A and B are shown apart, each in its own frame.
Chain A
Amino acid sequence: MSTAAAVARSPFRPARLITYALLLLVAAFYLLPIYVIAVTAFKSFIEVSHTTPWQLPSAPSIDAFGNAFTTLAPSFFNSVLLVVPATLLSALLGSLNGYVLSKWRFRGADLVFTLLLFGMFIPYQSILLPLVLVLQKIQLYGGIPGLILTHVVYGIPITTLIFRNYYAAVPTEVIEAARIDGASVLGIYRHVLLPISMPGFVVVLIWQFTSIWNEFLFAVTLTLPDQWPITVALNGLAGSLLAHYEIQMAGALLTALPPLVIYIVLGRYFIRGLLAGALKG
């Protein structure tokens, strides 16, 4: 245990109190809208009004949740089928790319990196049509596999970015040492980098899982009705004419649960000093 931690042990030092106060303030900011969402979700349709967002429900009911659940449940599995492979694949690709681009300085590596990143900025609405045409050509239009491919491809820039900068912090000496010991390119990846990649994977998995899980445009355009992910069903809760905000909010809370579970599970991996073991001398 570092001495810094030991010194900071006492819970009542002024610095500590200020830290807690600030944390609570920030937490209040993040929780304020969640409060409104939750409170609305427990109200009845008639009670919901934009004039009383802060009021607690007079007769709390879980009808909205029930309604939302029955509409959302059928597409839940589609979303799972979409998110798990897409997230894992794009994380793997990003990790490999980040490894290559940060450790193997071939000529043009920076150019490739820049070109990959630039791809992040392409506005999806403008490429919907060519995307649909290409997917049709390769027989992947209309179903989850095509959506997986789409998300993997468009996830490459951001996952590469995160991993590349993460691996840039790993000293070259470590890689060189492994090389001299006779490891292959992939061997270095497996034995040196992968074990310390957890924080990088945490960040990428959080991002990709959330983005793909909540993504709507591709979800609704590239799949046919029987394979719609949950975001389309969630959007349908809104209705087109008469908005049932309470069902919408309940639905949003329900669909936010899987990502939240991921955050809780992955959050444990923000461990200090994973790179410490990579230092030699």
Chain B
Amino acid sequence: MAVAATRERPIRGRSLGSFSWDRFTPFFLIAPSIVLIAIFVYAFIGYTAFISTTKWYGIAPDYTSAGLTEYIDLFGLPRFQADVSNTIEFTILFLIACILLGFGSAVLLDQHVRGTIFFQNIFLFPLAISFVVTGTVWRWIFNPNFGINLLLEDVHLDFLKSPWLADTRTALYGLVIAAAWQMSGFCMAMFLAGLRAIPDELREAARVDGASEGRIFLRVILPLMRPITLSAIIILGHISLKIFDLVYVMTFGGPGYATDMPSLYMWVAVFRQNLYGRGAAIAMVLLIMVALLIVPYLVWSLRSEDER
């Protein structure tokens, strides 16, 4: 009996033809969320979009229209160009690192080893530490003269040494490692919940049929992880696009623009430079990037659930 996750056909109502207000319960349940999101997200996005077309510079609002000048200026700025490429590179690396580390740890923990709970909590602990302190500590660790390079020398792994945060070519990797350290524990939790939700009967049935552990893993377990991977990608993606505190404390975008991110630049533009128009434009560009990348992925994923 197939129990795999499926996109269901609509649940038929009661077959006994009597009218009931209960039909509308789903709408009432979801309505508060729709209203709240409509106001606090979409109305605000509209506001931000409007501001991005103004000349607002300074504390006092200035709604004179500037058309698309902010956007045009933005893409001509070396800092913003670096931001866009940094955020794409960071997101890809961060996603890969977290999912590999998270899923890998979950698989390891699912092996019924002694001390699972202990390891589980160690892997989750970084999530609880404030970004500010995470940034400070990793800044020290990635100092080329005093941090992890010293340890690597001690264990004769000198070839792994790197200028880390002191060099524009390697600084971003430092940021990725620090961010993955903080977030992969949550990925692990998600995958672990998913792995634990797979009924033993499924694995048993496959074993009885003569499948090896490896094939069970590839053919039974991995496909069931797809919805969780979708969630993980979306969650990690949104963290990556909005990453701020970690960058602020660890590098403040440096050296040069090597680790600068749009949300850091947005913060500087709005709260340091009082360039509200520019800040809003950066926010809109971020949202458009999301709309172009994440949304199609989401839609594709939802559709392919349908087909299974």
Interface residues of A (CB under 8 A from B): 2-5, 8, 11, 16, 19-20, 22-23, 26-27, 29-34, 36-37, 50-54, 93, 96-97, 99-106, 110, 112-127, 130-131, 134, 150, 152-154, 156-158, 160-162, 165-166, 168-169, 171-172, 175-176, 179-180, 182, 184-186, 199-200, 202-203, 206-207, 210, 213-214, 216, 231, 234-235, 238, 245, 248-249, 252, 255-257, 259-260, 263-264, 267-268, 270-276, 279, 281
Which A residues are in CB contact (< 8 Å) with B161? none
8 A/B residue pairs, CB under 8 Å, sorted by A: A105-B8, A110-B299, A125-B270, A130-B43, A252-B130, A259-B127, A270-B193, A272-B196
Which residue of B is nearest A172, CB measured? B8
- How distant is the Cα of A122 from the Cα of B26 in the complex, in angstroms? 26
Which chain A positions have C-beta within 8 A of B242?
Answer: 121, 123-124
Are B126 and A30 closer than 8 Å at their CB atoms? yes
Given contacts A202-B189, A252-B129, 11 further A-B contacts (CB under 8 A): A50-B143, A117-B298, A123-B287, A152-B36, A153-B36, A199-B193, A203-B189, A216-B132, A252-B133, A256-B125, A270-B196
Dominant secondary structure of chain B at its interface with chain A: helix
Write out the residue numbers on chain A whose beta carbons fall within 8 Å of the beta carbon of B294. 118, 121
Least Cβ–Cβ distance between A12 and chain B, in angstroms: 12
Q: Which of B271-300 contact A (CB under 8 A)?
A: 271, 279-280, 282-283, 286-287, 290-291, 294-295, 298-299
Tell me the count of chain B residues lying within 8 A, CB to CB, of chain A: 120
User: Is the CB–CB distance between B291 and A118 below 8 Å?
Assistant: yes
> What are the residues of chain B within 8 A of A105 when measuring CB–CB?
8-11
- Of the listed stretches B66-74, B166-174, B229-237, name the one at the interface; the rest are far from the partner chain: B229-237
Contact flag A273-B199 (CB < 8 Å), given A121-B287, A214-B131: yes
Show the binding face of B for A, using Cβ within 8 Å.
1, 3, 5-15, 22, 25-27, 29-30, 32-34, 36-37, 39-45, 47-48, 101, 104-105, 108-109, 111-114, 117, 119-134, 136-141, 143, 145-148, 150-151, 181, 185-186, 189-190, 192-193, 196-201, 203-204, 207, 224, 227-228, 230-231, 234-235, 238, 241-242, 244-245, 262-263, 266-267, 270-271, 279-280, 282-283, 286-287, 290-291, 294-295, 298-299, 302, 305
Cβ contacts under 8 Å, A121 to chain B: 238, 241-242, 286-287, 290, 294
Check B295–A53 contact: CB distance below 8 A: no
A130 near B47 (CB under 8 angstroms)? yes
Q: How far is the CB of B240 from chain A (nearest CB, A)?
A: 10
With A30-B181, A122-B287, A127-B47 already in contact, the answer to whether A134 and B40 are too (CB < 8 A) is: yes
Name the A residues within 8 Å of B186 (CB-CB): 206-207
